[in-house]
A = this chain, B = another copy of it.
Amino acid sequence: MMIVPIFFTCFLLLSSSHASVQDFCVADFTAPEGPAGYSCKKPATVTVDDFVFSGLGIAGNTTNIIKAAVTPAFAAQFPGVNGLGISLARLDLAVDGVIPFHTHPGASEVLVVVEGTICAGFVASDNTAYLQTLEQGDSMVFPQGLLHFQVNGGDTPALAFVSFSSASPGLQILDFALFKNNLPTALIAQTTFLDVAQIKKLKGVLGGTN
């Protein structure tokens, strides 16, 4: 009976396009990175482990000054999302925990509250603030590039999962950008209108110099 060999011919024909399939582009961290993301691992070396990330099941350590932790599952941690325009992170907020004002330069974000209560907000380009208290199961979207924050709004720990419209959304934390580097204090004062004493105080906390 000829069916199997005949089909095999068909398979050969069709699979000749195999090498060109870009179903996915699992990140190869040893090859060059480009504007669209990491280079792709050879398909033959890809396994299901590349598409699965277990790090979000572990609570971040919130015994720090912000009583909060962000655990990213971006392309750098989760190679299977490379090139697919999506990534994740886990937010842990202890009581009084705060994810301070920050932006993601390359992505919009959606947040889902899994435990507790989170007060979240963002500020639009016209300076309008959009604030909401989110209960378990509520979700909120933070449009790309806008300043936003999340604060534990209850008296129990809060947990949220966030996702991003990029495999490498970036994360710029306002206080770190201003006070955790060597930007001269006078220049910060000139470009933020903050008082020199205030700047020096926060540089002291965060380790900024100059």
Q: Which residues of A contact B (CB under 8 A)?
A: 3-4, 6-11, 13-25, 28-29, 31-40, 43, 47-48, 51-54, 56-58, 60-61, 63-66, 68-78, 80-88, 90, 98, 100-101, 103-110, 112, 114, 119, 121-132, 134-147, 149, 151, 161, 163-165, 167-168, 170-178, 180-183, 187, 190-195, 198, 201-202, 205-207
> B32 touching A40 by the CB < 8 A rule?
yes
Q: Which of B76, B137, B144, B146 contacts A20 (CB 8 A)?
A: B76
Q: Is the CB of B100 within 8 A of A192?
A: yes
Give the nearest-CB partner of A161 in chain B: B112
- Give the number of copies in the complex: 6
Chain B residue at minimum C-beta to C-beta distance from A82: B35
**Which chain B residue lies CB-closest to A195?**
B198
The answer to whether B174 touches A21 (Cβ under 8 A) is no
Q: Cβ of B145 and Cβ of A64 under 8 Å apart?
A: no
Instruction: Closest B residue to A54 by CB, please name it.
Output: B138
A201 CB contacts on chain B under 8 angstroms: 195
Interface majority SS (helix, strand, loop, mixed), chain A? mixed
B14 touches A64 (CB 8 A): no
Contact A174/B192 with A57-B138, A126-B43 known, Cβ cut-off 8 Å: yes
Cβ-defined contact, B22 with A149, below 8 A: no
A140 near B52 (CB under 8 angstroms)?
Answer: yes
With a cutoff of 8 Å between Cβ atoms, the chain B residues found around residue A103 in the complex are 103, 105, 145
* B138 contacts A125, C-beta separation under 8 Å: no
- Interchain CB contact under 8 A, A106 and B34: no
Tell whether, in the assembled complex, residue A171 and residue B4 are in contact, meaning their CB atoms are under 8 Å apart: no
Asked whether A110 and B86 contact (CB < 8 A) given A24-B124, A146-B172, the answer is: yes
> Which of B28, B57, B90 interacts with A32 by CB under 8 Å?
B28
